[in-house]
Structure 1
Amino acid sequence: MYNVEVKIEKPVQSLSGYIRELRKVDEKLGSKTDAGVRLSPRVINIEEGYNTRFEGYDSPEEYFAVPMHRAYLEKLKAAYRGDANTTMPPPIQIEIIDSVAYNRDGASRLFAIKELFNEGFEVKQIEVSEVTFVDQVSRNFFLLRAQDGNKFSYLAIGAALNRAYNAGWSHKQLAEERGITVNSVNNFIDAYRLPSQIKRWIAHKTISPTLALELVRKRGIQPTIKAIEEAIPRRLAELKKEEDALRVKEEGKQLKAEAKNNPEDVAKNEAGDAENQLDIPDAGDDNNAPVTLDGGKSEDATERAMLRPSDLKPKSLPKKLAETFHNSLLDLVSLDDEERFWRDEANNTVTVTLAADEFQKLQAMRHASIQFDNANIERLGGSIIDVSKLEDISEHTPESEIDGVNVTPVGSADASSEVAESSAA
């Protein structure tokens, strides 16, 4: 057992009183000198639910399994072991309530010390300092300001703000306290209130909190979950292709560099025997990847969400295409010439005489729109069904099944809206 249960008979509410009474129980558990107060980490308690850092994860262990967080933790462990070229972390801040020491800043440091204990290395005492609060809200704001060396996540901030809101603070008051906009406060709290499955994706950088909120507000909870679940394998397949292409490119560069530095190999390569002479890297090797503390990929990649907005919602018309449409429509001067119109009020139709080039422009715009919408549908995992084949499908498919399928005919003007509905279904 890591924590030591300490029974202090006299109730105390300050660090000075706590260290005095603690030493009466066991002098090894704490000390006080001119340099400061030191406590055994075993007597410092982590109040359940206080630290919002692990929001979105099932446990602190899962949080510290993330490469970036693990690298930070290993750095702390090295410092507490006294490894070369390390600096001792700052004092852990604690609050004394009814003769119990509670951690208020330093959750990662305490977790690092606990891991060392489990590995057979015991940190006997650590430097601590005291903090006091007037209420729970002030504790929350202190938590956000402390941040324990690791930047708080979007969800962690949202959890703390939500506590303050539940304690009676308005969104405006929270915005003023944090120096952010009211809209930002809304977003932080709304993100914290998302279902655990979506929060888990946010925590693991599968999707950004802003994109998740946008989808939920437009489509609802369940359609958003379904859309994300469908987008993940598509995006992973894309990333695998990009990774393979990059590896092939790097292998080619390496081969050229080695051949350039070895004239003999150049000659043998020309003879078709270079493969036996050059050291071709294995497909699984990634010697050109940036070296990081955790031995994995660059931390830049871990800061970005895997899913992009374009993976979950239709793209807007590119600026160049929109400008082309705009200019083409301006050129259709025939549409302003009443002499070219013939109206049939009875049949509610209008016949327009167009020049051949004007007609071709209209056709070109329509075809470009169809191609753009179809590309959106395919990119989002939908399928394009030729309208000419719909009759054959209905002959062999029960009507109830057809109702459950999103059928988008080629050339449908509503293709983009239909794909959004398909993802939201």
Structure 2
Amino acid sequence: MHRIARTTMPLLLLGLVAGACSPAGATPADDGDGKATLTFLTFETPNLDAKYWDAAIARAEKKVPGVRIKKLVAPSADRTGYAKQLLGSGQFPDVMIAVSPSGFAESGQLAPFTDAELTSFTFPHSNPIGGKIYQLPYNTQPTPLIYYRKSIFRTAGIDAPPKTYRELLEDSATLKKAGVDPFVVGGGGKDSFAASYLWTALVGTDVYRKRPDWLAQRRAGKVKFTDPLFKNATGKFVGLVDKGYVDSSGLSRDYAATEKAFLAGKGAMYPMGGWFATAADQSPVKDDIGVFPFPTEDGSTVLPSYTGGGMSVSAKSAHVDLAKKFALAFNEDRRNLDAVVKSDGAIIAEKGYTPPQGMGPVYRATAEVYDSAVAADGVVNAFLVETGDDAMLPGTVDQSYAFAQDIIAGRKNADQVTRALDEAWAKADTE
């Protein structure tokens, strides 16, 4: 992920600086029509492009009379980092989507949603911060699943996807022997997050499965990254790289190039979030793509997932109530929900919602894996994706992406990475 320049000031200090500047939220209407202008920070991807956002904003605007939306687009996938920059310059947006509330909420920059405002959501209390909800929990994203090319497996003599970690290693060795890269990974340029997904999977299967509140315990100082449980999971990630199952040249690929490489058959397996299903279903090889959860030692189902991703509202907005109404209108609009399902493979976490008809085979398979994990009580948090009281400390997620790149490039082993992560955590904990 291309990281924008970072300020070195702690977030709380940024809030104080921002308070001394004119707010960047709602401003008086400039057309004399009585409408309040709200700034809305969003992002654009190949799946969720400008056309999608413009149409979705227009639909929500119609449901909230008196509102005009000014769209702000983050210059990279790091919209949380960009939101910090906007806060520091006194331009914090009125509403924002898929921005981690951690840090912002604690420093009083976000307005909490009430229980009455959350009644339509399946998991209304997902990712609380101090017991309050600052981001609408509208969307569940399994992160990651393992997508695979059925034809490549068959050609290598693999009849079915692995169910245990031992089978995964055996299949990876078979693929490597056949001259195929087992895992297609990315992480280059602006998209460093993609380098971390095998790590996320292993922390889910080996750490969070045993201790679901592990990261909350880390925040409480009861565990460390250098403890055997976490270090062993990290060691498995290192082991996959050392065995040659992860192509380090993938670090030069950004998100789009990595997706293209997998669809072109440059490797057998692709660790990626459920949103990939949409791109897969739009490809000519959609019927050749299967999906499975990252295997556990004993074959049980564990699936890291995140529920949230919705709108947050600035507590300093000149029109907090209107901003909340817009946020809810945006995240509850059926056409907006259908559009994000079709565009980004979302699994909507709102009561009574059903996906639109005609979803493709990869999306349906993705949803089936998620439903099976729910039925097996195997859904756990997704390491590096969490927000709320058990999230990583501000700044440490970006550092973790860099550590994942170091592992794939062979620059660091499990001891070095976990020590460095503990050091980064200690520094962040004092800021």
Which structure has more relative contact order (CA 8 Å, sep 6+)? It is 2
Task: Report the structure, 1 or 2, having the larger helix content.
Answer: 1
Larger-Rg structure? 1
| TM-score, scaled to structure 1 | 0.23
